[in-house]
């Protein structure tokens, strides 16, 4: 069974982008990946590039020339539904306000990057700093 999640990035102009994550959305995997590898606006924003993800990993881009798709993924590289699985209409979703993005974040785990900090919540709880789950 998959653990679904959403990842949202709030930009300085208060707009937001969000993507769906299909597998391993729990803190111990996706949460750690976000804190360790996507901890700036540039890297968090780059994670939105190809839309919905099957799986979050340490790198967005495969090694040049390496085979990377759903069936033969390169280890340590994100798997995107559009780029790597050939699916259509997979986002990202864009929002005019942070609140609109928050209202849409209703998966088992939800992550939100704002002002240099990752926040998280499970289902409908309040968002809190993601780092508290690793203290």
The confidence band for 104, taking pLDDT boundaries of 50, 70 and 90, is confident
Q: Residue 76: exposed, middle, or buried by beta-carbon count in 10 A (0-12, 13-18, 19+)?
A: exposed
Tally of domains in the chain: 1
Residue 112 contacts residue 18 (beta carbons within 8 Å): no
Per-residue tokens: 32 = 């750690």
Segment among 12-16, 47-51, 63-67, 131-135 with least mean pLDDT = 63-67
b/e sequence 18-48, b meaning 16+ C-beta within 10 Å: bbbbbbbbbbebbbbbbbebbeebeebeebb
Question: 18 pLDDT exceeds 90?
Answer: yes
CA dist 110 and 83 (Å) reads 23
Taking residue 116's Cβ as centre, other Cβ atoms within 10 Å add up to: 9
Question: 109 pLDDT exceeds 90?
Answer: yes
Domain that holds residue 118: 5-134
Question: 80 pLDDT exceeds 80?
Answer: yes
pTM of the model: 0.94
Question: 122 pLDDT exceeds 80?
Answer: yes
**Mean pLDDT over residues 84-91, rounded?**
87
CA dist 38 and 42 (Å) reads 8
């Amino acid at each position: 069974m998959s653990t679904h999640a959403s990842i949202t990035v709030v930009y300085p102009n208060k707009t937001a982008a969000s993507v769906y994550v299909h597998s391993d959305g729990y803190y111990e995997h996706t949460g750690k990946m976000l804190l360790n590898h996507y901890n700036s606006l540039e890297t968090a924003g780059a994670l939105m590039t190809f839309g919905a993800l099957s799986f979050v990993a340490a790198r967005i881009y495969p090694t040049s020339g390496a085979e990377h798709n759903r069936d033969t993924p390169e280890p340590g590289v994100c798997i995107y539904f559009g780029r790597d699985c050939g699916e259509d209409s997979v986002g990202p979703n864009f929002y005019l306000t942070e609140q609109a993005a928050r209202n849409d974040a209703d998966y088992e785990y939800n992550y939100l990057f704002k002002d240099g900090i990752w926040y998280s919540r499970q289902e409908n709880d309040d968002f809190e700093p993601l780092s508290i789950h690793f203290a």
